[in-house]
Amino acid sequence: MNPVIVIPSYWARHDYLPEVGEVGVYDHATPVDKPMPELETCLASLDKVRGVLRTVVLLVAPPECEESARARVEGICRMHPNLNPLIIGSPEARLVTDVVYGLAPTMPGEAVALRGYGAIRNMGLAVAAVLGHDVVVFLDDDEVALDENFLIDAVYGLGLSNRQGIPILAKTGHFIDREGSPYANVGSPRWSERRWSKRRAFNALMQRLLDGPRIMRTSYLCGGCFAVTAQAFTRVGFDSVITRGEDLDYLFDLRMYGIDVWFDNQWLVRHMPPEVPSHAARFLQDVYRWTYERRKLAVTNATIGMRPVTPESLMPYPAQWVSDEVDSRIATTALRRAIVGPERLEYLRIYLFGRRQARVWAEGVESRYLKFQTYWPQVMATIWDFQELAQRLVRLGTARLRASASQRGNDA
């Protein structure tokens, strides 16, 4: 196998409080002046990992701070030359999108880009295809590898079949928190959270997965500890429409096309996320996410030739979030949070206006993913191991890194 580690890294000029209504903003982005960025901690953990052939860093930053973010990322990557880092920022991404949209000029939306969770993941898959990597290992920049066998565990079982002859083409690990626990902290949910908490159902699923055999079929996918083979990712791409939760959505997408995701209970990372700047902004993203998810699954489940993805097949988690009750969960939670707790006015706006706007939006884009999928396999087949583009990407994405290394050699 020829695996590549792909790390999306989100940057911003400074910490800011997202406006409620900024659908598509990222849960958290690293301020360019942060003394110890998450990416540095992540790459430092990979230095001890055996068998790293290449690490691709997807640099996501708004135009006003892209240059300074690039400088920070380049500085970090220079400190880890053994990871063979390749930076994909706007210049490199343009090389890829020029080819992709030259092949499929009518492909809907921004499906391969450095903007939007799903499109960013697709950029990672496209770059991996161009470079001829047959396995993509996704790692988030706020996570760290725990031992030298991270990559060995990542590819364990991939390409093989289970006892029923079902191939293992995509698999997920899991994360532990700062205290070392793989479970969500349940506690006693507040009145405002009782219809929104996913933690008990998540813990029930996690306990079943952790107590079972090493490799099990799963209804959960951890996007920051996920490995997928070319047999799967050249056939099925991420949904660029999704506002957040593109990893779990990808599990649904793979299932639609007959590909299961498997859970490896021996493969894990430590998750060390920064604080969430606005819970109301995240909640609105979830309102759009789950409203869209239900509409999308209704369309695909009614499409001939597609494998149905039903709430019953997603028990105990995330079944409730793609069922008919999700609308009442959204309404109840928005209203309760508008009565108690912080950001009350923002939650009231979501209750009065945001829910309806999400429904209108979801109805307008519910079929876009199926249209995108009519292009994706052919595009990926065409760009696979595209030597000329690969050389240009590597030259552009490592030029300043090589120049810096050369200068250090001359100074010595």
Q: What is the pLDDT of residue 190?
A: 87
Cα–Cα distance for residue pair 330/335, rounded to 1 Å: 9
What is the CB neighbour count within 10 angstroms for residue 114? 23
228 closest CA partner among 325, 332, 139: 139
Q: Which residues contact 59 (CB under 8 A, 6 or more apart)?
A: 9, 11, 66, 69, 70, 73, 87, 88, 89, 90, 114
| pLDDT digit string (tens) for the chain, length 412 residues | 899 999 999 999 875 555 544 444 677 789 999 999 999 999 999 999 999 999 999 999 999 999 999 999 999 999 999 999 999 999 999 999 999 999 999 999 899 999 999 999 999 999 999 999 999 999 999 999 999 999 999 999 999 998 889 999 999 999 999 999 999 988 777 899 989 988 999 999 999 999 999 999 999 999 999 999 999 999 999 999 998 899 999 999 999 999 999 999 999 999 998 777 678 888 999 999 999 999 999 999 999 999 999 999 999 999 999 999 999 999 999 999 999 989 999 999 999 999 999 999 999 999 999 999 999 999 999 999 999 999 999 999 997 787 665 555 555 4
23 located within any domain: yes
Coil/strand/helix, residue 171: strand
Q: Give the alpha-carbon dihedral of 388, 391, 397, 399, to 10 degrees.
A: -130
Coil/strand/helix, residue 60: strand
Helix (H) / strand (E) containing 253: helix 246-256
148 located within any domain: yes
Pairing of strands 262-271, 215-217: antiparallel
Q: What φ, ψ does residue 4 adopt, rounded to 5°?
A: -130, 140
Q: What is the pLDDT of residue 23?
A: 44
| Cα radius of gyration (the chain) | 21
Q: What is the pLDDT of residue 56?
A: 98
Q: Name the token pair of 118.
A: 């799903």
Q: What is the pLDDT of residue 24?
A: 44
Q: Can you say how many angstroms the Cα of residue 164 is from the centroid of all Cα atoms in its chain?
A: 30
Q: What is the pLDDT of residue 406?
A: 54
* Residues across the chain: 412
54 located within any domain: yes
322 located within any domain: yes
Q: Give the alpha-carbon dihedral of 62, 68, 71, 73, to 10 degrees.
A: -40
95 located within any domain: yes
Q: Can you say how many angstroms the Cα of residue 60 is from the centroid of all Cα atoms in its chain?
A: 13
Q: What is the pLDDT of residue 303?
A: 95
Cα–Cα distance for residue pair 392/382, rounded to 1 Å: 17
CATH number at residue 75: 3.90.550.10
238 located within any domain: yes
162 located within any domain: yes
410 located within any domain: no
Number of domains the chain is built from: 1
Show the DSSP H helices in 302-365 as ranges: 326-339, 344-349, 355-365
Q: What is the pLDDT of residue 143?
A: 96
List 11's β-bridge partners, or say none. 30
* Domain region containing 235: 3-405
Q: What is the pLDDT of residue 409?
A: 53
